[in-house]
Amino acid sequence: MNVPRRLDFDWAATAPLRDVARDALLAGLDAGIGNASSLHEPGRRARALLTAARRAIANAFAAERDDALFTGNGSEANLLALAGATLALPRERRHVLVAPIEHPSVLEPLAALAKAGEIALEHLAVDGGGRVDPEAVAARIRPDTGLVSVALANHELGTIQPVARIAALARARGVLVHSDAAQAVGKLPVTLDALGVDLLTASAHKFGGPRGVGIVVRRPGVALHSPLSSGRQEGGLRGGTEDVAACSAAAAALGAAVADQPALAARLAALTDLLRRELRRRLPDVTFHSPERDALPGLLNASWPDLSGAWLVAALDQRGVSASHGAACSSLAALPSHVLEGVGAGERARNAVRLSMGWSTSREDVVELVERLRDAVAALRDAALFSPSQNRGNSV
């Protein structure tokens, strides 16, 4: 059997480990590295590596060293930033504004806090491309508003939000601003100063670091209360022995991602334009849900009439292509995308497929993807002639 060359168009779910990160990971696993909380020499070596990694990450995001915090993953980073910041606010300042198309790791902790009566939660409006209007945010700020959360780049659509303008308007009224930058790091410039936010979160494996490392950076003086059981690590915000090797690898990957960002962004923008053109030419009944302007380079969300996104992702997998139906953490459920529903996509919310690219994606990969996608669409439509309910957008 002739197995086709595997094509990775699911970089938004995870990126491969960078060589510099692998080297740092192996060095950090050296037998001489101890527990970073221990006072003996192996412990001091571990503490030195962890401090160096923290300093490198803080510098990359223009934060102070001790304001860069490590967590177990990106979802925990969002939990710490959001629950930690709101629980540290006085009760009379716990009105929270959030975009309804945020990642589940943002929406779910806030919904749980609202259900528990800890915060008053309000969803912001978005337009058909998923964009939040900064002036509309300013209009929704109340005397009791304490926090606004808007991702820098949406995880399904790639929509780049005007975070700097939102932050300027909100912070002028004493409101904290958080931005989930997980999809943006390595593709857009991301620093506290440039965005003007109080809290940034990221996930190492999205930019070529290891899985299992989340990052929170905050402005000096931003208070956080631990939403987890009390611990002595990470400034008393979480407990458990730090994975020094993984944190060191994350710092190495971030350094490479920041250095490569301008060139990679330009190349991915060209590949995204090519993919749009080829899909329009070869599969003209396509609908693009990602905006053409102010969108993350290398990410394109599209759908086809009466084709379930989950079925199309499965058909692509059979043809050696990795893609996704939505966020990786929820795509297995094959449910309509809350992001697509939030921008008014209607039935197309079940049809959407996210195609995302990274540093090793080539023009040849894009052309080959379109060929395999055409074959997958044709096969599903042929099958639908014999079983009309099988591939329709409202059935999985």
Task: Tell me the pTM.
Answer: 0.92
- Which segments within 72-213 are labelled E, that is strand? 95-98, 120-123, 145-149, 176-180, 199-203
- The bridge status of strand 214-218 relative to strand 68-71 is antiparallel
The Cα 53–Cα 25 span in angstroms is 12
Q: What is the mean pLDDT of the chain?
A: 92
Please give the backbone phi and psi of residue 22, each rounded to the nearest 5 degrees, phi first. Answer: -60, -45
Count other Cβ atoms within 10 Å, centred on residue 337.
27
Given this structure, which CATH class describes domain 7-15+261-386? Answer: alpha beta
The answer, yes or no, to whether residue 6 has pLDDT greater than 50, is yes
The Cα 349–Cα 335 span in angstroms is 9
353: its two tokens: 């497929």
Rg, Å, the chain Cα set: 22
89-132: per-residue pLDDT in tens?
A: 999 999 999 999 999 999 999 999 999 999 999 999 999 999 99
Count other Cβ atoms within 10 Å, centred on residue 122.
14
192-239: per-residue pLDDT in tens?
A: 999 999 999 999 999 999 999 999 999 999 999 988 766 778 777 787
The total number of residues shown for the chain amounts to: 396
Q: Which of 228, 265, 329, 396 is catalytic?
A: 329
Q: Where in the chain is the domain with CATH 3.40.640.10?
A: 19-256
Burial group, residue 270, by CB count within 10 angstroms (0-12, 13-18, 19+): middle
251: its two tokens: 């710092």
Residue 225 half-sphere exposure, CB side, CA atoms within 13 Å?
7
Q: Where in the chain is the domain with CATH 3.90.1150.10?
A: 7-15+261-386
99: its two tokens: 């975009």
Active site residue 329: yes
- DSSP label of 299: E
Asked if 348 and 287 touch (Cβ cutoff 8 Å), the reply is yes
For the domain covering 19-256, report its CATH number: 3.40.640.10
